[in-house]
Each structure stands twice: as structure tokens, then as C-alpha cells.
A and B are shown apart, each in its own frame.
Chain A
Amino acid sequence: MGSGQIEKRAALGEELAKVRFGKLYREQARAILGYALRRTETREDASDVVAETFLVAWRRLDEVPLGRGERLWLYAVARRVTANIRRAEGRRTRLSERLAEMLPAELSVQPQSDGKASDVLRAMAGLGDEERELLLLVTWDELSPSEAAKVLGLTQIAARSRLHRARRRLRALLEEQESAGRRSPRPHTEEAR
């Protein structure tokens, strides 16, 4: 293959990458934004997660699986990015700034729940990180247990077993919480902030 041909193929490869990447963004950005909003405290942080996740996807586009797997792959990246955002000042990019500006303030309200849901969310804090994330992936992000397993890098068996235990443990935590509440009733319960 001559050098002209090599260049041509390289250019074509980059063009192909842009097409694939554009499609990936159009199809998955909303899901990733939802994921990020559910796990960060501010719109700015959520926007950073979206921007950073797609930047990683661009750099590693050859690793992104096709089909349904691409969303799971992006969730796994977003999970790591979110953890880093929590630890460090987010890297503000043009995209994340623009995105944060256009997100309405009421898009994410924490906590948005009635009394029972607030109790469950409080009890969730007592779960391990992985169990909590499993439950959230299945309940909020509507993944199946085996899809959640892929996001967390677990085997299907382990994910199912842990999900079962997480539900059981959450129930136990709720009961503990309720009995503690009965022992010392809270003077005032705020329904929403």
C-alpha cells in the first residue's frame, strides 16, 4: 500500500470515527445526562460528567461495543468519571459549561420524594457503594441485573446474588430506621427541600 493510500485510509478512518461518535452522542447523551444528574449534586457536575464521558469515548472509540452494549460501556465510564468529579474540581469544558447553562434548575430536585421514598433513600446510605449502585442502576436507570453487572464489571451471578442481598439488607436497614424512629420520634419531618 502506497503512502497516499495509507493517508486516504487514515482520513477515512477518522471520518468514520466522527460519524460513529456523532451517532453515539445523539443516541446516548440523554441517558448519560440522566445517569449523571442522579449521582451528582449540581448541574455543573453532571455536565462535567457528560462532557468527560464522551471525551473518553472519543479517545477509546475502538473499545466501545456496538448496539445496546454501548450504553452500558458509557455508564461504566460515567461511573468512574463521577467518582473522580466527587474527589476533584471538575474540568470545565466549553461543552460542560454550555450544557450546565441550558439545564433547567428544576430538572433535578434532591430529594424528590414523599415520606416513604425519603425513608428509603436515607436507608440507601447504609448500603455499600456497590450494592447501592446496583439498586439504582436497576431501579432508576432501568437496567436488567445482567446489564447492571456489565456496568459494574461483575459476573451475572454475582450481580443477581448481590442485588437480592441488597434488597434484603435495605429492608433490614429500613426496619432499623423505623424502630429507631419509634424510639425517638423526629420533632419535625420536612417533606421536601
Chain B
Amino acid sequence: MNTRELEVSLAAGDPVRQDLLDQVDLMGLEAELLAELDGEQPAPLPLPARVPRRARRLALATGIAILAAVTAVALLAGSTSHRASRAYGAELVRFAESTPLLLLEGPGWRVEDLNQYKGREGTQGFMDFVTGKPVPDESVRVTTGGNGAIGEVRTLPAAVRQRQVELSWHTDDPDLSATVPHPVRLPVLDTTALVNTHAGRIIFTSNAGRQVVEPGKPGDRQMSATWTEDGYRLELRADVPDLAAFAERLSWLAKVDSETWLDAMPAKVVKAADHEEAVREMLRGIPLPGNFKPARIPDEGLATDRSQLAGQVTATVSCLWFRQWGEARRSGDRGAQLEAERAMASAPRWPAVRQMEGGLTETLLKLVKSMPSGVWQFGPHRYRLLPKAEGLGCARLGIPLLPRKIERQREHGVPLPPQ
């Protein structure tokens, strides 16, 4: 299950019925609330001088959050890695250049995984480097004590954890000093990193907000280094035996050109040059709404794996149809409503749907079946369909379905889908 499917499934588990929540008459309770407060002293509120202008949030304006997990990269199917034979497409090169183009060039180390997310607050990315056998995701046993305290037990031995390094980056600009309380300074690339030698992990947060950090022990510390470079805020995090080992890992970081960087990527995805062709193929035979443009499909220039790309294609087309369907029902335009229902009824035969994996297909087909009634039946419960369809991630694609979400995006300056 990829990130998108995970989020769709989690969103589907939201216990609150938003349509009923919207109907609760909370305004009628304002008098009760004020009566409740009688006798309670408010905090002294200073009389207004001049209200400072708050910086306008860019928020959604520059493009809606598309939490597209981007597992990059590579290549000509079946070819093995060697640089001379590589001719990377322009899109793939652009994708590479949207990252800091860093590699960990320690002997025997390689890139194990790469994820980049583009959201409303900029781009953030993560790369895992490993040496030796792949390091499995660490599962954590959660223990609950009698007093409600929660503890976590790490399951991977230190020797395994120390074969992995995580590099992360993002493009906004938080305050460096706020994140490293008592840093050690170490050189990295052409600059200096602030190193937290007891980065540890928070294992318990009390109700009062007190955080207990797993301190590690001699020979097994988690350390993190942060620095800024080329408009990125970077962090390298690793479990290491000591500071010298951490300094060594930092010294292995190297800035490379896009071709070298792409060569180092794990060969598990689609060649970017094929992205457009892959999208074209997935759209074949799909009835498209008049306002559909291929550019609506999130494309980081990366090549996602095919299932993920299929999910993006399907969600984009479906959200546009559901948007038309919702608006048609509100305005009583029966023709437009039926057109959307007919189009979506063909979804089981869409090439993109057939290439999707995981729970998204199941959810989509249930949505389609529910369109004529407009009701999502769940056990004995009946729900309005549109909020359920919103769970496809339509708002994130910039195609919100519910009037309140449309309004919210309009307020934040997100352009509406073209008519």
C-alpha cells in the first residue's frame, strides 16, 4: 500500500459525518456558553492599539498540496547500471535537479529509497542510504504501563540500524537555532552543520507535554546534523557508535551532477521520458470531462511506480466527474448529472483502474455503484456520497467537491478547475 492509498484508507476511517457536523446549530449555544462564563474572569485583553498586519499566508495559493509520494527513478527496462548508456529524459533531469543532488559516497553505501513530497509548504524529500543487506523498516513494540505511560521498544539491533543513514531536505526556511539546543559544529560539504549528538527519539509524551527522549547508550547513539545550502534546509540522521563515525558519514556526502545522481537511484520505476506515454496509455478509452487536461495529473517529473501513477490518473479524472456530478445535483442539471454517472460507470474498464493496487480500487468502485442513489450505504448507515468521494483526495488535487472546501480553496486563492 503506498502513501496515497494509506491516506485514502485512513481518511475513509474518519468517524465523523461532516454533513451532520455542518448542520449542528452551534450558534444557538453561544448564549449558554456566555452564561457559563459568568463569574469567570477573562484574561485581561489589552485595548487595541494598532493591529499588526499579519503576513498573508501563501498557503494553498501556489498549488494545492499534492502529497505525491515520489519514488523515483530509473530506467530502461532490463538494462543494467552503467552510465554511458544512460540518456535521461529532460523531465527526469528536472526532477533530479529539484533535489539537492547529494549522495553518500561512503565505500559500499548505496541509495535504498527516495521519497519526495510536494505540498503547500514547499518540497520535502527523504533518502535512505544503506550498506550491506537492505535494512527492514523497524517495527516498534508499543507497551502500555498501568499508569497509562506508553513505551516503545526498538526491535532492530544497533549493528543493523547503524548500516543506515537518512538524509532529508525541504525548501522552507525554519530557524536553525530553534532545532538544535546544544550543537557540536562539524564541516559538511562547503559549510558547517549543527550536530545534535543526543538526537535520540521521543519515546513518550506525557499529557502535560513533557517529552522523554530515549538517550541511547554508549556505542549506540542517534545523531542528527542540520545545515542550509542552496535554498534547502537539510538534515542527516544516523544511528552511530560515536561522534567520529557520525563525522565520517557527514564527510561522505558529496554534491554530484544530475546524471551521476540518477545513476545512483534504485532501478525500480519508470523512465521519466515514458511518463507522458504512460499517462496517455492509462487514459485510453476513459471518457474525459471537458475541463480535463493531462497537466492536472500530478507530475513531479519523477516517475512514480505504475500503480501510483495509475492512482493519480484515476483520482484526477474521477474527481473532475464527481465535481460535475455534485454541481449538477445542486443546480438540478439532470443531463450533466447523468453524463457524470455514465462516465464513471465505465471506471471498472479504465486501463488506469486496472493498473491500480490496493484499497483505492475497492473504494472507487463502491463510489461508482452508489452514484445513482447518491447514498453511500455502510451497514445500516446511509451517508451522503459526495463527502465520501472527497476521500479520493480531490481537495489535494485542487478539485474539491464539497461546497465548503471549494469555498475554502477559493479564499486561499487556489484556481478553480477550468470550465
Are A and B part of the same complex? yes
Q: Would you give the shortest CB distance from A34 to chain B, in whole angstroms?
A: 5
Residue of A nearest to B113 (CB): A168
Residue-wise, chain A 106-118 has the 8 Å CB interface mask toward B (1 for contact) of 1111111111111
CB of B36 within 8 A of CB of A192, answer no
How many angstroms from the CA of A161 to the CA of B7 in the assembled complex?
A: 17
Residue of B nearest to A97 (CB): B32
Q: Would you give the shortest CB distance from B287 to chain A, in whole angstroms?
A: 26
How many pairs of A and B residues are in contact by the CB < 8 Å rule? 231
CB of A99 within 8 A of CB of B29, answer yes
CB of A145 within 8 A of CB of B119, answer yes
CB of A106 within 8 A of CB of B381, answer yes
Q: A17-B45, A37-B15, A114-B378 are in contact. Are A87 and B30 (CB under 8 A)?
A: no
CB of A127 within 8 A of CB of B10, answer no
CB of A16 within 8 A of CB of B205, answer no
B1, B54, B140, B366: the one within 8 Å of A174 (CB): B1
How many angstroms from the CA of A93 to the CA of B33 in the assembled complex?
A: 9
Residues of A within 8 A of B44 (CB): 10, 13, 62
In B332-353, which residues have CB < 8 Å from any A CB?
none
Residue from the set B17, B41, B138 with the largest chain A CB neighbour count within 10 Å: B17
CB of A171 within 8 A of CB of B142, answer no
CB of B33 within 8 A of CB of A95, answer yes
CB of A103 within 8 A of CB of B15, answer no
Q: Would you give the shortest CB distance from B266 to chain A, in whole angstroms?
A: 16
CB of B30 within 8 A of CB of A191, answer no
In A70-118, which residues have CB < 8 Å from any B CB?
80, 83-84, 87, 93-95, 98-99, 102-104, 106-118
Residue of A nearest to B23 (CB): A104
Residues of A within 8 A of B226 (CB): 157
In A165-180, which residues have CB < 8 Å from any B CB?
167-174, 176
CB of A156 within 8 A of CB of B174, answer yes
Q: Is the interface of B mostly helix, strand, loop or mixed?
A: mixed
Q: A16-B48, A144-B65, A146-B121 are in contact. Are A161 and B137 (CB under 8 A)?
A: no
CB of B366 within 8 A of CB of A114, answer yes
Q: Would you give the shortest CB distance from B239 to chain A, in whole angstroms?
A: 13
- A128: Cβ under 8 A from any B Cβ: yes
Q: Would you give the shortest CB distance from B386 to chain A, in whole angstroms?
A: 16
- B362: Cβ under 8 A from any A Cβ: yes
Residues of A within 8 A of B6 (CB): 120, 167, 170-171, 174
CB of A108 within 8 A of CB of B32, answer no
Q: A34-B21, A155-B174 are in contact. Are A112 and B139 (CB under 8 A)?
A: no
Residues of B within 8 A of A25 (CB): 26, 30, 33
CB of A139 within 8 A of CB of B10, answer yes
Residue of A nearest to B119 (CB): A144
Q: Would you give the shortest CB distance from A86 to chain B, in whole angstroms?
A: 8
How many angstroms from the CA of A26 to the CA of B138 in the assembled complex?
A: 44
Residues of B within 8 A of A58 (CB): 37, 40, 42-43
How many angstroms from the CA of A117 to the CA of B170 in the assembled complex?
A: 30
How many angstroms from the CA of A19 to the CA of B379 in the assembled complex?
A: 45
- B124: Cβ under 8 A from any A Cβ: yes
A63, A95, A98, A118: the one within 8 Å of B13 (CB): A118
Residue of A nearest to B358 (CB): A116
Residues of B within 8 A of A110 (CB): 15
Known: A108-B15, A170-B6. 14 other contacts (CB 8 A): A14-B45, A21-B42, A58-B42, A104-B20, A107-B16, A116-B358, A128-B140, A128-B152, A142-B395, A155-B174, A157-B226, A160-B168, A172-B139, A193-B379
Q: Give the 8 A-B CB pairs with smallest separation, nearest first.
A: A116-B359, A192-B379, A117-B13, A113-B13, A117-B12, A172-B137, A83-B207, A62-B43
A-B contact pairs, 16 of them (CB 8 A): A26-B27, A30-B24, A34-B21, A51-B36, A84-B207, A94-B36, A98-B29, A98-B32, A106-B381, A107-B16, A114-B12, A145-B119, A157-B174, A157-B226, A164-B126, A192-B380
Residues of A participating in the B interface, judged by any CB pair closer than 8 Å: 9-10, 12-14, 16-18, 20-22, 25-26, 29-30, 33-34, 37-38, 51, 54-55, 58-63, 66-68, 80, 83-84, 87, 93-95, 98-99, 102-104, 106-121, 124, 126-130, 135, 139-140, 142, 144-146, 152-153, 155-158, 160-161, 164, 167-174, 176, 191-193
